[in-house]
Amino acid sequence: MEKINLAIIGLGYVGLPLARLFATKYSVVGFDINKNRIDELRNGIDST
């Protein structure tokens, strides 16, 4: 079986749940340009 890697651009109210859902079956990397958003997510905080 072929290994599938996904990238989600934008981890807002659509991108983050989408990344989480896909991560149940695939390898997922999320990208966001908002440094504060990334810091919050790293600390387990989701302000959306």
pLDDT, tens digit (0-9, with 9 covering 90-100), for 1-44: 689 999 999 999 999 999 999 999 999 999 999 999 999 999 99
Residue 29 main-chain phi, psi, to 5 deg: -120, 135
Q: Give the contacts of 7 (CB within 8 A, at least 6 positions apart).
A: 28, 29, 30, 31
Question: For position 7, what pLDDT does the model report?
Answer: 97
Is residue 32 within 8 Å of residue 8, measured between CB atoms?
Answer: no
Determine if the pTM surpasses 0.95: no
Is residue 16 within 8 Å of residue 48, measured between CB atoms?
Answer: yes
Is residue 8 within 8 Å of residue 15, measured between CB atoms?
Answer: yes
Is residue 6 within 8 Å of residue 26, measured between CB atoms?
Answer: yes
